[in-house]
Amino acid sequence: MDNLARAGVIHPETARIFRRADGAPFVLYQRQREALQKARGRQSYVVAGFGFLPG
């Protein structure tokens, strides 16, 4: 996330907030980085989430 903040893709405060418990920045997947770039370019994109609910 720090490199995205330096490149102006995300706000620096976003990179400061989204960190692991040990203080290291999150590392986004390629598809997440691509979605951010599309959003900045005002292009269409789809966000899909996958997860499991306790059952």
Rounded to 5 degrees, φ, ψ at 34 are -65, -40
Owner of token pair 């976003």: 14
Give the C-alpha separation, 42 to 21, whole Å: 32
Q: Which two structure tokens, joined as six digits, stand for 15?
A: 């990179």
Q: Is residue 20 part of a domain?
A: yes
Q: Is residue 50 part of a domain?
A: no
Q: Is residue 52 part of a domain?
A: no
Our count of domains for the chain comes to: 1
Q: Is residue 48 part of a domain?
A: no
pTM above 0.85, yes or no: no
The predicted-structure confidence for 5-52, as pLDDT tens digits, reads as follows 998 888 999 999 999 999 999 888 888 888 888 888 888 888 776 665
Q: Is residue 46 part of a domain?
A: no
Q: Is residue 7 part of a domain?
A: yes
Which residues span the domain enclosing 14? 2-40
